[in-house]
Amino acid sequence: MNTETPTPPPATGRQTRILTLASGSAGSGKSTLAGALAEQAAVHGLTVCVIGLDRQRDVSRLLGYDDPDADENLPTLMDVVDGLCTLDEALVPGRHSKTGEILPGLWLVLESDKLDALTLKLAGVTARELWLTQQLKQLEGRFDLILLDCPGNMDLGTQNALIAGTEIVGCTKSQEKEARGLTALEDKIAHLHQSYGFLGMRDGLDWIVIGEGVTNISQGKLYFEIEQQVREAYGDLVVAPTVRDDVKVPEAYSASLPITLYNPKSDAAAAYVAIGKAMKLYS
């Protein structure tokens, strides 16, 4: 079993895709998607970095670090904000939360429960909305894929991630509240684009992932119709397949593992593998 700390990837000039996972309402499957896509992309040979921006620290936990704040030797994104280390120095290897085994090709910048102070901390920084864009320059050309897991609000952390992403992934569920959240997210992107479009910021959603859909119509006609509406409204932006309701997902959450590691044979894991393919992360 490999638990030895590897060296962070060097600059190779490779093309780095930066996927911002965002939603207009909380609990839309962002962290579940981030954990599963990161794990699968690494398994398929990509060099991956996950940066979570949420004080709930869900994606950090899923990728091996239950409570980063409890270990003062572990750097977090908040240490980067505080100038205690660089983003490069904050990289830690992803690991299996149960065995401690290193997940090859997978790296993280850990979240902190102090991330709720991010807005306050960045308040005095010049061009505060661009802080993450600037920081990510240290990682570009070193990773194939960077995933930014936003919190369930539109605070400065999410705004930074929306500006920094080369692709924006809207996460939703086939339920009214979450589907409406997509519109709120689009409004925020459009607003930010007015100011930051000249820097190359995306002008809209690039992908939409629907999670926790109903398994069949009889399970909930209304939910099915909302899913249809989202597909009709957004067409090809909506990635196939929808991740159906699967009890293995909350089980994986409790076990602090990405669903693709917890139960690779589950329907949800298969759906996430297919979503990664549909997004052309791997073939």
Ligand X SMILES: Nc1ncnc2c1ncn2[C@@H]1O[C@H](COP(=O)(O)OP(=O)(O)OP(=O)(O)O)[C@@H](O)[C@H]1O
Q: What is the largest CA-CA distance in the chain?
A: 54
**DSSP assignment letter at 148:** E
For ligand X, which residue of 20, 32, 133, 160 counts as binding (CB under 6 A)? 32
Q: Which is nearer to ligand X, 79 or 178 (CB)?
A: 178
Using CB under 6 A as the binding rule, whether residue 111 contacts ligand X is answered as no
Using CB under 6 A as the binding rule, whether residue 54 contacts ligand X is answered as yes
Residue nearest to ligand X (CB): 152
Using CB under 5 A as the binding rule, whether residue 31 contacts Mg ion is answered as yes
Single out the residue of 89, 70, 76, 61 nearest to residue 116, CA to CA. Answer: 76
Candidate ranges 4-12, 42-50, 56-64, 153-161; the one touching Mg ion (CB under 5 A): 56-64
For ligand X, which residue of 19, 20, 24, 31 counts as binding (CB under 6 A)? 31
Provide the minimum distance between the beta carbon of 126 and ligand X in the complex, in angstroms, as a whole number: 29
For ligand X, which residue of 26, 237, 274, 278 counts as binding (CB under 6 A)? 26
Q: What six digits make up the tokens of 26?
A: 């909380």
- Distance CA(51)–CA(32), nearest Å, equals 14
Binding mask 178-217 for ligand X (x = CB under 6 A): ---------------------------------xx-----
Quick check: bond before 8 cis, omega within 30?
A: no
Provide the minimum distance between the beta carbon of 152 and ligand X in the complex, in angstroms, as a whole number: 3
- E-strand ranges in 66-211 read 91-95, 102-109, 145-149, 167-173, 207-211
Q: Which is nearer to Mg ion, 17 or 30 (CB)?
A: 30
Q: Give phi and psi for 89, each to the nearest 5.
A: -70, -20
145-149 and 48-52: which strand pairing?
A: parallel
Q: Which residues pair with 18 in a beta bridge?
A: 146
Q: Give phi and psi for 124, each to the nearest 5.
A: -90, 0
Chain residues that interact with ligand X, rule: CB under 6 A? 23, 26-32, 54, 56, 58, 151-152, 171, 211-212, 243, 245-246, 249-250, 253, 268
